[in-house]
């Protein structure tokens, strides 16, 4: 059988089912991580848009996510390495927090030269 997301071949024992899709372990974990990462809004976004749920700006974020967002806003653009150093995060924490902030459309990646910066979304 094949993964509905990436098309990778897998055995039935390695497959996961999520919202009617058959997924490989990698894709399943990606989705679970993303949903969990944006939990405050995932709950609402099922039935409401962010606006109608009165979520604006950084409402619903954890303190750490607010700190990262504040840093990005104050500097205009930062690299992942700068954030990790400034806030003393692990690579894994940074990955998780960034996934949330991107998912909630607060920050986005911006390639400039050979570097990728994190910049405010709008």
Nearest Cα to Cα of residue 106 among 48, 62, 46: 62
Rounded Cα gap, residues 71 and 8, in angstroms:
38
Residues paired with residue 117 on neighbouring β-strands, in sequence order:
110
- Where are any strands of DSSP class E within 5-105? 16-18, 21-23
Q: How far is the CB of 87 from Zn ion (least distance, A)?
A: 32
| Least Å from the CB of residue 24 to Zn ion | 4
CB of 17 to Zn ion, least distance (A): 13
Footprint on residues 16-55 left by Zn ion (CB under 5 A): 24, 27
Run of H or E residues at 119: strand 115-120
CB-CB neighbours of 89 under 10 Å: 19
Residue 5 CB, nearest approach to Zn ion (Å): 4
Size of the site for Zn ion (CB under 5 A): 6
Interaction of residue 106 with Zn ion, rule CB under 5 A: no
Q: Which of 1, 6, 43, 70 binds Zn ion (CB under 5 A)?
A: 6
Residues within the interface to Zn ion (CB under 5 A): 3, 5-6, 8, 24, 27
């Amino acid at each position: 059988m094949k993964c509905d997301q990436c098309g990778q071949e897998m055995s039935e024992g390695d497959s996961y089912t999520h919202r009617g899709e058959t997924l490989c372990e990698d894709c399943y974990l990606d989705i679970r991580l993303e949903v969990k990462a944006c939990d405050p809004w995932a709950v609402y976004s099922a039935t409401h848009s962010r606006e109608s749920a009165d979520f604006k700006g950084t409402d619903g974020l954890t303190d750490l996510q607010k700190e990262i967002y504040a840093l990005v806003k104050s500097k205009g653009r930062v690299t992942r390495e700068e954030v990790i150093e400034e806030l003393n995060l692990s690579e894994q924490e940074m990955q998780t927090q960034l996934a949330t902030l991107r998912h909630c459309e607060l920050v986005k990646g911006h390639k400039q030269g050979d570097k990728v910066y994190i910049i405010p979304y709008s």
